[in-house]
A = this chain, B = another copy of it.
Amino acid sequence: MSLERILDAKSVAIVGASKNVTKRGYQAVRTLLDEKYEGAIYPVNPKEKAVLSLKCYPKVAAISEPVDLALIATPAKAVPMVLEDCGAKGVAGAVVLAGGFSEAGLEGKALEQEIVAVAQKYNIRIIGPNTSGALNFKSHMNLVGIKNAPGGDIALLTQSGNMALTLITEASVKSDKGFTYYVGVGNEADLNFHEYLDYFRQDPDTKAILMYVEGLRKGRAFLQSAHLTTAKKPVILFKSGRSSTGKRSAGSHTGALAGDAKVAKSVFEQAGITVIENSDELFPAAEALSCLPPISNNRIAILADGGGHATIAADKLSDLGVELPELAEKTQGMLREILPTAASVPNPVDVAGGTDSDPLLFAKCAEIMLADPNVGGLLIVGLFGGYGIRFAEELTVIEEDAAHQIGKMVQITQKPIVLHSLFTSLSPHPIELMRYYGIPIFDSLDIACSCIDVLSRYGNHLAKQAAIPAFALDWGKGAVDKAQQMIVAAGKEERSVLLEPEGKKLLQWHGAATFKDVLAASADEAAKAVAGLDRPVAMKIVSPDILHKSDAGGVMLNIKTAEAAEKAYHRIMATAKEYKVDADIRGILISPMAESGVEVIIGTKMDDQFGPVIMFGVGGVFVEVFKDVVFQLLPLTAESAAQMIDSIQSASILNGLRGNPPADKAALVQLLLKVSEIIEAYPAIIEMDLNPVIVHTTGVSVVDARVILGD
């Protein structure tokens, strides 16, 4: 169902309308009148005849004209009753402001379930509860109470009223940009982030979507929607609640679970979302992405009127991974012709005082630089716009001319320009002109550089987005009958894990790996198994009662002979029984020791917010010391699996370091794909650890497999 009748409502009932100026029910009516809402306003309150000269109705059902949306400003307890009233009238949506629902303990949670049930009965969609409201800037449907919020082309979705206020204030004070819609999602009892996103994707007036998120209730549906959205327009997201103390605060705020930060960042980026990590950079990123073409080649040029700013910007962009190519010989020559000899032209271009008496040189240099095919975008840093203030007033006119010329270049070249100016906060006319042409301007070098970075990141995403798989929402396809039976059997034994031989069988049945393992039921069998092999073996206890095999003395390595195997069998059995006298022992697994290679770890887990994800890293101390792992959403494609392997910091180890031969990455990709297939096939599996996996010059060996089942 489209949200048109809700977010573009033609009429709003204010339930709990009041004459008391301190009440939300008064302010809501006042704001709609003050801001000149284009639709009809119907105050509802059985105790009043009129509010602010508008006729007041005893209940929603008493309104004779159609009502699209209800703003419910009553206390939490009254909401179910109000929704019944709304339902009788055929209202399409309700904004529930009150707190005291799922964020406030068990009782609140029950109340939340109750209102959702009532709403579903009548096909009413709920924004909130526990929300600061919603705002349609086009029809002036201001249900929030923030005054003078600027209209524009960015849609704003947040989980914190204060962050909405922060971003709206920032937009008015520091830019001339503004918003199409604002929605405070509140507790997301009914309408979820992804549904708003779907609506904004379709809205032709919305050029970019800006989000502040603490936790997502339907993470995978959100990613699916984001993936479709970012192909059409940028989505800029700040995720808070990363730290344990941050979570403490986020938890008390909306009741949403803040998921694992690293997983969240990885999967957001997979969906093409522009993830922002410094809150200062959030609105500027949306500003830049809403009005500038993205950078297609990750290469930009800097134009500066002084060394300091140029150096700082070059450092920052290098840190961010944006390239500053040396300008083409021809470009450098053309710049040298118009600049003083002290000027530096390779990139950054430092005009070395050349603009002091003629700021029009900025426009000439910009034109030359943007014509260079190496250059995908331009960052201008320094004093532009302030020459009239800093040097001589008559320079202002020349700067204005330059601003007109530079302003038009974005349209002509389809390459973005971002401006840093020391004089931004004084808003001289040349700077106003640059804004008129849609060029974002900052007095912060860090933020200007961050804008260049997001333009480049979004450009990279658009270039490769067609290759990204859709995010599967359905699971269970491709299961193998005998594996399904094995999982069911484990469940019947009330086991939450598969035994190592079972886990390995699962892999083998899916063609993920082959094993020469033997489950020995006696010392004799063990001896025979070892005698038949040309490699030393590991011997491991198999028991549903002994999960930590090494701790229980249940593992012996490097057994080479039949005699040693016999001894080892007895020793492991004895130790295991010491560890747990009535342990249910299924035998001892004889596994040939893997040949040498690079040790990696593959793991999957069911993420609270995003469903099945997969982790990959180079094993051993690398994972332990450097946490050098990468996450992706399951299922994988061959492309995403290969990309995953290459994206860890220690990827070079697989390519062969210090004279070692390269490891078989193709075989590793196959194994990752098979793991993906298995997790897709058996929703009962909530975790799987292949640790370690040895990647050889040819092929891979899975040394241990641990599979954990859910309820």
Interface residues of A (CB under 8 A from B): 99, 104, 158-163, 165-166, 169-170, 173-174, 212, 214, 238, 240-250, 252-254, 278-280, 304-312, 314-319, 324, 342, 344, 346-348, 350, 382-383, 390, 422-423, 425-426, 443-447, 620-622, 624-626, 628, 649-650, 652-653, 657-658
Bound Cα distance from A440 to B163, whole angstroms: 21
Which residues of the other chain, B, contact A250 by a CB distance below 8 angstroms? 307, 311
- A interface SS class: helix
Contact A169 B422 (CB under 8 A): yes
CB distance from A443 to the nearest CB of B (A): 8
Report chain B residues within 8 Å CB of A443.
170
Contact across chains for B658 and A308 when beta carbons are under 8 A apart: no
Question: CA of A163 to CA of B313 in the docked complex: distance in angstroms?
Answer: 12
A214 in complex: contacting residue of B311, B348, B426, CB < 8 Å? B311
Contact of A243 among B248, B315, B444 (CB under 8 A): B315
The reply to whether B166 and A309 contact each other, CB–CB distance below 8 Å, is yes
List of 9 A-B pairs having minimum Cβ-Cβ separation, nearest first:
A160-B308, A253-B307, A243-B318, A162-B306, A163-B308, A246-B315, A246-B314, A252-B344, A245-B314
**Assuming the A-B contacts A280-B447, A425-B173, are A318 and B626 also in contact, with contact meaning beta carbons closer than 8 angstroms in the complex?**
no
Assuming A244-B318, A253-B307, A318-B246, is B657 touching A621 (CB within 8 A)? yes
Assuming A252-B307, A626-B649, is B315 touching A240 (CB within 8 A)?
Answer: yes
Cα–Cα, bound, A104→B341 (Å)? 10
Q: How far is the CB of A194 from chain B (nearest CB, A)?
A: 21
The listed residue (B243, B446, B626) touching A650 by CB distance below 8 A is: B626
The residue on B at minimum CB distance from A423 is: B169
A247 to B311 CA separation, bound complex (whole angstroms) = 7
Given pairs A238-B312, A249-B314, 16 additional interface contacts (CB within 8 A): A160-B307, A162-B305, A163-B312, A165-B390, A173-B425, A173-B426, A240-B311, A243-B317, A245-B348, A246-B314, A248-B314, A253-B350, A278-B446, A279-B312, A279-B316, A621-B650
Q: Which residue of B lies closest to A341 (CB)?
A: B104
How many identical chains are in the complex?
2
Contact A310 B166 (CB under 8 A): no
- In this complex, the member of A312, A383, A445, A625 whose beta carbon has the largest number of chain B beta carbons within 10 angstroms is A312
Determine how close the nearest CB of chain B comes to the CB of A656; give it in whole angstroms.
Answer: 11
Q: Tell me whether A162 and B383 are in contact (CB under 8 A).
A: yes
Residue of B nearest to A550 (CB): B659
Q: Which of B238, B248, B344, B425 contacts A249 (CB 8 A)?
A: B344
Contact A312 B346 (CB under 8 A): no
A279 touches B446 (CB 8 A): yes
Please indicate the chain B residues that have their CB under 8 angstroms from the CB of A626 in the complex: 626, 628, 649-650
Residues in B with CB closer than 8 Å to A350 are 249, 252-253
CB-nearest residue of chain B to A166: B422
Query: Smallest distance from the beta carbon of A376 to chain B beta carbons, Å?
Result: 15
A279-B445, A422-B166 known; A319-B253 Cβ under 8 A: no
Once the chains are docked, how many angstroms separate the CA of A484 from the CA of B258?
Answer: 64
Cβ contact within 8 Å between A658 and B318: no
Compute how far the CA of A53 lies from the CA of B390 in the bound complex, rounded to whole angstroms. Answer: 25
Rounded to whole angstroms, the CA-CA distance of A652 and B254 in the bound complex is: 38
Least Cβ–Cβ distance between A79 and chain B, in angstroms:
17
Q: Do B252 and A315 have beta carbons less than 8 Å apart?
A: no
A–B Cβ pairs within 8 angstroms, 24 of them: A160-B306, A162-B305, A163-B308, A163-B309, A166-B308, A214-B308, A242-B319, A243-B314, A245-B317, A245-B347, A246-B318, A248-B346, A249-B304, A249-B307, A249-B348, A249-B350, A253-B308, A253-B311, A279-B316, A280-B445, A621-B650, A624-B652, A624-B657, A625-B650
Task: Kindly list chain B residues whose C-beta atoms are within 8 Å of the C-beta of A347.
Answer: 245
Interchain nearest-CB distance for A444 vs B (Å): 5
Q: Which of A248, A649, A652 is the most central at the interface, judged by chain B CB atoms within 10 Å of its CB?
A: A248
Q: Is the CB of B241 within 8 A of A162?
A: no
Query: Residue among A158, A160, A253, A311 with the most chain B CB within 10 A?
Result: A311
Residues of B within 8 A of A254 (CB): 307
Whole-angstrom distance between the Cβ of A237 and the nearest chain B Cβ: 13
B residues in contact with A160, CB < 8 Å = 306-309, 311
